[in-house]
Amino acid sequence: MKHNSYFDGKVQSLELHTENGVATVGVITPGQYTFGTSTQEKMVITAGSLRVKLPDQDWQTVMSGEFFVVDKNVSFVVEAEQDVAYLCYYF
Amino acid sequence: MKHNSYFDGKVQSLELHTENGVATVGVITPGQYTFGTSTQEKMVITAGSLRVKLPDQDWQTVMSGEFFVVDKNVSFVVEAEQDVAYLCYYF
């Protein structure tokens, strides 16, 4: 199983294969982080809430149980005030 | 962030702190595994489905979006036929 670690371990994830393709479950600890996508991503927040800045959009707060979609080949910014858990699908 | 690895890496998890206390997000790869609890646990399946044998109960299948609760100080058996993602709360 692949274990990913970003930003000095402040964001980590575990990879799995689902009927919807590759996905990761992960944890984001408090802080602000910029990510780049190489595929379209659907990020479901499973615990906590996450502030998200998608390209050309205002900041939004995504609550537990909600999700957001990020286009391919863009960068986006997330901000966590407490630990956040997510499940991310790659398309 | 704590990264846990069990059964030669076939089950791995990442720890987080939520408003409901400590939790882990994790992945279970195909296989059958026996776990022991030191606290009560609430396990939410977030991707895939998991066969679960709780003490004194029949096997049950827990689907994505569903959860099961395990008492403190017992052991229970899980069986995955494909990768399963979960979010587990410890009480």
Q: Comparing C-alpha atoms, which of B69, A40, B36, A74 is closest to residue B86?
A: B69
pLDDT digit string, tens, across residues A27-73: 999 999 999 999 999 999 999 999 999 999 999 999 999 999 999 99
Q: Which long-range contacts (CB under 8 A, 24 or more apart) does B56-62 make?
A: none
Tell if the CB–CB gap between B16 and A85 is shorter than 8 Å. Answer: yes
Residues of A in contact with B83 (CB under 8 A): 16-18
pLDDT digit string, tens, across residues A76-90: 999 999 999 999 999
% pLDDT > 90, chain B? 99
Whole-angstrom distance, CA of residue B14 vs CA of residue A82: 15
Mutate to test the interface with A, among B18, B20, B50, B86 (most CBs of A within 10 A): B18
Average pLDDT score, chain B: 97
The three-state DSSP-derived secondary structure of chain B is: CCEEEECCCCEEEEEEEECCEEEEEEEECCEEEEEECCCCEEEEEEECCEEEECCCCCEEEECCCCEEEECCCCEEEEEECCCEEEEEEEC
pLDDT, average across residues B33-41:
97
The pair of structure tokens assigned to B87 is 């979010």
Q: What is the pLDDT of residue B66?
A: 98
The set of residues, in sequence order, having a beta carbon less than 8 Å from that of A86 and lying 6+ positions away, is A25, A26, A27, A28, A43, A44, A45, A46, A50
Tell if the CB–CB gap between A27 and B1 is shorter than 8 Å. Answer: yes
Q: What is the pLDDT of residue A73?
A: 97
Instruction: Please give the CATH architecture assigned to the domain spanning B3-90.
Output: Sandwich (2.60)
pLDDT, average across residues B41-53:
98
Q: Whole-angstrom distance between the N-terminal and C-terminal Cα of chain A? A: 19
Q: What is the pLDDT of residue B28?
A: 98
Q: What is the pLDDT of residue B58?
A: 97
A49 Cβ under 8 Å from any chain B Cβ: no
Beta bridge partners of B47: B85
Distance of CA B74 to the CA centre of its chain: 13
Give residue for tokens 């058996």: B77
A62 Cβ under 8 Å from any chain B Cβ: no
Q: What is the pLDDT of residue A85?
A: 98
Residue A21: pLDDT band (50, 70, 90) is very high
